[in-house]
Structure 1
Amino acid sequence: MKKISTFTFGDMVIEYYQTPESVEWILVPEALQKEVTLPKKIKYDSLVQVKLLGDDYPKGFCTGKTMRNNQTVKKLELLDQEVHTNKFEKEIQTRLIDDKGNHYIHHVVWQDGASVIETFVTFENRSGKTQTLEMLASFSLSNLSPFHEENPIGNLSLTRYQSKWSFEGRQMTKLIEELQLEPSWKPSGVGLEKFGQVGSMPVSGWFPYVAVHDQQKNVTWSACIAQPGSWQIEAYRLDEDLCLAGGLADRDYGHWLKRVQPGASFSSPKAYLTVTQGDEESASQ
């Protein structure tokens, strides 16, 4: 993985990487930046997760369960990266392009002094033909945890909150192995924990929130989606790389499609991410 750029936002550091097949990013506490140890094995997981109607589904025995890393994503290539700043905020725009000429802009916005980053993705139809989206994630965070070449068993836990009508929320924390988020011996079969809700009640069944805690390093990543309708969150693992993604409910989960005319664009809902040295409660605050 070749490092493209590094940005410091308060006590958080973002590093962008390019692999032979994808563009990825990591989010770590500034105090632990020098301890980043990425997997040595060549892997694949793009920071933009999208699917166009007609493109092949992903491999990994996961058709019907997830659309991550499908044919659309496999065709994405880095075009450029721009930084826009003003008195109050800084924005990083990472632009990818597919073989049809479509552009995909990964936005990261940090307001001065904030303890979170805002992220979303914009799809620009430059193909000259109507394009239909089947999935467009607001965020996709890979390389969890970026402090281990191999994830130690019993180290990473995932937290989410159950809910129902007029209910405050019940915390549920499980080790990733309890959710079958561990690689197979080959590895070839995807481990997936997908949750969300369909309809106009954004907190029905689950809160649109997730956190992953590295117990050995005492580091927690958390994400929340600003979506007042159907949404989904996916915890995904094929090899040593645990990935989190979330946004609009896709076609499989929420029967969602979006037709984008030539020259038009569509942006995903915003998501808010943070990382902190501490437990899940401190990260959620």
Structure 2
Amino acid sequence: MSSHDRITTPFTRESTAAEVIDGIDLTGRRAVVTGGASGIGVETARALASAGAEVTLAVRDVEAGKRTAADITATTGNSHISVAPIELADRASVAAFVAAWQGPLHILVNNAGVMAEPLNRTQEGWEHQFATNHVGHFGLALGLHDALAEAGNARVVSVSSSAHLRSPVVFDDIHFENREYEPWAAYGQSKTANVLFAVEATKRWAADGITANALMPGGIRTNLQRHQNANPEFQKLIEGAAWKTTEQGAATSILVAVSPLLEGIGGRYFEDATEAGPNVPPAGTGVADYALDPEAAARLWDVSLEMLAR
């Protein structure tokens, strides 16, 4: 961990997105939330809308997106909520979203994700969790770079997970071609990539007024766990877990997206609405050194560019 001052906030693990955004005016600001039609994505989008932002829900299921947009408008009075299709594991879909975007973008929330699913590969042969959780969001952020730069003081929110503690990015075999596939290791690797992305994006783009931070939302019961509901080990793991509501789960995303405390600050990892300290095993909290490693971050960026150039 570098010697920078850790950011602390008045918020706690119980704080909600509404509490974090209270008093902040986002009128005239534009935001994109991937996966904005389910789980914490809905509450992240709702909070941004409640503060006056123009919000685009970038989603796989456009019909679900439209229902969510209508619900957000009904609860916030903000009618500037739009829906656009995106399939993060499909490069053409990400490119189409980028091509359709016009004008500045102030906040990009890379929120969508798949978790601990059975082995699945994209048409390129990439492991699907890495392709969705990291590569799709990397391509999206890269494609929207000029829109973020145009906004000035833009922020990218990279939704990671404490599961990043399960695995660094295994550069020698990212796609499980030569090792046995393990769903949680694959998920963990993709979530480490989300943190490393924030580190390198901030390094490369801070001069354009763009900062990126990563976060762990906390344990929340959402559709993300659909592959785990029949897994007895997972059930045992969650029995004593302190679950958050989706409104509490979105709080740290909102902190990273809008808090004045993070002005000009990037490349960090937050949990429970504050900057996390280093992970000390066997604790399942904090951030792994390898997730903040600048060399790994630079290497991942290069590998990701190579993947997208194929």
**TM-score, normalized by the shorter chain, greater than 0.5:** no
TM class, shorter-chain normalised? Answer: under 0.3
Name the structure where strand makes up a greater proportion of residues. Answer: 1
* Greater RCO structure (CA 8 Å; 6+ sep): 2
TM-score by length of 1: 0.28
